[in-house]
């Protein structure tokens, strides 16, 4: 398969999904697909899983999330909903502000336990047991 051949990749994935369908149905889980990939990232040539700080690891994950959002937007012509769950809690102010400046102009939901950590503002929802206000 060519490294950047989407049609070939689609065929390989379809074949793998069909081949695992019976076992997946029995296990009640999809065992094949990109959600099972384990990407490997480095920071300055070192394995990010055990050498990067929590802020660096979070920044890597957020970079991947924003890049995939942009790729889907470009491929479909529509920006998908962006969900960011408690993304600012492990970022210092410089990283938080940088992330805020990179957020796409798309519908975005950001969850947080501490509103003061979020350097962007918009409509706020308070979620409590049994109610959303």
The model's pTM? 0.66
- Pick from 18, 50, 47: which is nearest to 32 by CA? 18
- pLDDT (tens digit per residue) in 55-66: 788 888 889 899
For residue 124, how many other CB atoms are within 10 A of its CB?
A: 10
- pLDDT (tens digit per residue) in 25-46: 999 999 988 778 778 888 888 8
Residues 75, 81, 86, 89: is their CA dihedral positive or negative? positive
- Tell me the domain boundaries of the chain: 1-37, 41-132
Helix 93-102 with 54-76: angle, nearest 10 deg: 0
């Amino acid at each position: 398969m060519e490294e950047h051949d989407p049609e070939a990749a689609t065929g390989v994935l379809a074949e793998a999904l069909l081949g695992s369908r019976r076992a997946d149905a029995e296990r009640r889980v999809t065992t094949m697909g990109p959600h099972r990939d384990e990407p490997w990232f480095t920071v300055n040539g070192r394995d990010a899983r055990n050498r990067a700080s929590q802020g660096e690891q979070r920044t890597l994950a957020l970079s991947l999330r924003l890049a995939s959002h942009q790729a889907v937007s470009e491929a479909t012509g529509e920006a998908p909903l962006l969900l960011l769950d408690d993304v600012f809690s492990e970022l210092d102010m410089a990283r938080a502000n940088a992330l805020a400046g990179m957020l796409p102009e798309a519908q975005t939901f950001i969850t947080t336990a501490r509103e003061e950590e979020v350097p962007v503002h918009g409509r706020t929802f308070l979620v409590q047991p049994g109610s959303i206000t």
